[in-house]
């Protein structure tokens, strides 16, 4: 935002998308305004201006950190807004601008162990009535997160090599020439990897996490944090820690259902981590030949990891998928509660659900995951029972879902 643009906003006063606040506002009152804006149509909060729009300046130390902490601690699900400081709006008076996007879900203020849902009505932020909250919930529930645009991206953020491999080899359909940018934008919009917004369409969340050049630069939560411990408990001493980042799918060459792997995706990175850090069992074959036997069957391991990636809640911006390998077990934590009506028992029975259907469909196209709904009973449960007689644990926690594979 330029100084001239800000002065015009200040002159026009508060409205449905603009709020003025002095920077000595409490974190609770600031978070109220953020929640109301994100539950409505988004907008900006100008910190360092009085109610009449006069710049009074900012004086709070480490203001950006304070803003981000308030949005993390006082708002559920948490929000990461855009923050900038404009200097010398008037001589010696700096002003901060906090930009809030329209939310993908319904957010609430969390203060004194109490939830408050707020909306913006004109230039005022107020608590939503039961009817208003019901309408807001209905609107957000019909909203597909994986086809929502990722702000600040264009189709150039996608890896054209992976896209050509997907359309040509996996789907068996022709693609435009590399230089035909318009043709590519049309194809990617029609397949929901780009949001249908001309002229510079933004990547959808699914497009970016599946085929992005560097998805974590825009969506830090899209990666996986993996740790291997030498014993049965979390410890400062580790075998290996890895921050795994990149697109979900690998780059393949050749023909056929899989082709030859040329460049790994996130799925291959996690599998490689487990294979090199797991404390496998050694056996002797034919009385002399030593052979390492994996402690986890490949099909179950792959299904657990891919399910965590495909069905995680990408709205939880501060949480990655976690893979923790211990001497006696493997635990994979996927951020987000299970969708309404889904329970571990129903998953074991093969109940079908998909939080991110486009991501799921593409991973199935590549053969990364089992047919919809059958991965848990056919792969995870059946293969572990056949492998070592153990039944995997499926646990629902506050804002996460855990799968535990045991060595027996």
Handedness of CA 32, 34, 39, 42 (dihedral sign): positive
Per residue in 129-179, pLDDT tens?
888 887 887 777 656 788 888 888 888 999 999 999 999 999 999 999 999
- The pair phi, psi for residue 62, each rounded to 5°, is 50, 50
Whether residue 292 has a cis bond before it, omega within 30° of 0: no
132 vs 21, higher pLDDT:
21
Whether residue 346 has a cis bond before it, omega within 30° of 0: no
**Per-residue three-class SS string for 288-311:** CEEEEECCCCHHHHHHHHHHHHHH
Q: Is the pLDDT of residue 358 over 70?
A: yes
What is the CATH architecture of 220-248+257-406? 2-Layer Sandwich (3.30)
Per residue in 231-282, pLDDT tens?
999 888 899 999 999 999 999 987 655 678 899 999 999 999 999 998 664 4
Query: Of 313, 306, 300, nearest to 404 (Cα)?
Result: 300
Q: Which residues pair with 19 in a beta bridge?
A: 45
Indicate the domain borders of the chain: 3-142, 155-217, 220-248+257-406
Q: Can you give the C-alpha Rg of the chain in angstroms? A: 24
Q: Are 36 and 118 in contact (CB under 8 A)?
A: yes
- At residue 47 the predicted structure's pLDDT band, cuts being 50, 70 and 90, is very high
Which residues have CB under 8 Å from 289's CB, separation 6+?
none
What's the pLDDT score for residue 347? 86
What kind and span of H or E run contains 358?
A: helix 357-366
Pairing mode, strands 18-21 and 43-47:
parallel
| Residue 48 φ/ψ region, left for φ over 0, alpha for ψ in the -120 to 50 degree band, beta for the rest | left
Report the CATH fold assignment for 3-142: 3.30.950
Q: What mean pLDDT is reported for the chain?
A: 88
């Amino acid at each position: 935002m330029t100084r001239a643009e800000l002065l015009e906003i200040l002159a026009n006063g508060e409205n449905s998308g603009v709020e003025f606040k002095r920077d000595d506002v409490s974190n609770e009152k600031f978070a109220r305004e953020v929640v109301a804006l994100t539950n409505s149509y988004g907008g900006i909060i100008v910190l360092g201006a009085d109610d009449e729009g006069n710049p009074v300046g900012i004086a709070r130390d480490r203001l950006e950190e304070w803003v981000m902490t308030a949005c993390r601690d006082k708002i559920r699900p948490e929000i990461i807004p855009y923050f900038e400081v404009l200097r010398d709006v008037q001589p010696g008076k700096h002003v901060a601008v906090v930009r809030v996007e329209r939310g993908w879900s319904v957010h609430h203020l969390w203060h004194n162990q109490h939830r408050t849902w707020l909306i913006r009505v004109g230039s005022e932020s107020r608590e939503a009535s039961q009817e208003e909250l019901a309408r807001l919930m209905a609107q957000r529930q019909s909203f597909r997160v994986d086809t929502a645009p990722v702000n600040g991206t264009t189709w150039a953020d996608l890896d054209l090599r992976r896209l050509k491999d997907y359309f040509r080899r996996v789907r068996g359909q022709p693609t435009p020439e590399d230089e035909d940018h318009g043709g590519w934008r049309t194809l990617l919009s029609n397949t929901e990897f780009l949001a249908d917004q001309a002229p510079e369409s933004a990547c959808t969340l699914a497009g970016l996490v599946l085929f992005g050049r560097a998805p974590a630069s825009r969506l830090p939560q899209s990666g996986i944090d993996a740790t291997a411990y030498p014993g049965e408990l979390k410890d400062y001493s580790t075998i290996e820690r890895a921050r795994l980042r990149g697109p979900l799918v690998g780059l393949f060459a050749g023909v056929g259902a899989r082709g030859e792997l040329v460049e790994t995706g996130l799925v291959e990175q996690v599998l490689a981590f487990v294979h090199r850090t797991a404390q496998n069992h050694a056996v002797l074959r034919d009385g002399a030949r030593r052979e390492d036997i994996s402690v986890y069957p490949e099909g179950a391991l792959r299904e657990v990891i891919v399910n965590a990636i495909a069905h995680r809640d990408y709205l939880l911006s501060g949480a990655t998928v976690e893979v923790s390998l211990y001497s006696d077990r493997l635990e994979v934590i996927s951020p987000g509660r299970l969708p309404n009506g889904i329970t571990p028992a129903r998953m074991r029975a093969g109940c079908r659900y998909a939080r991110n259907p486009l991501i799921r469909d593409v991973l199935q196209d590549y053969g990364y995951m089992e047919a919809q709904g059958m991965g848990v009973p056919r792969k995870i449960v059946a293969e572990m029972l056949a492998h070592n007689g153990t039944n995997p644990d499926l646990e629902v926690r506050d804002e996460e879902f855990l799968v535990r594979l045991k060595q027996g």
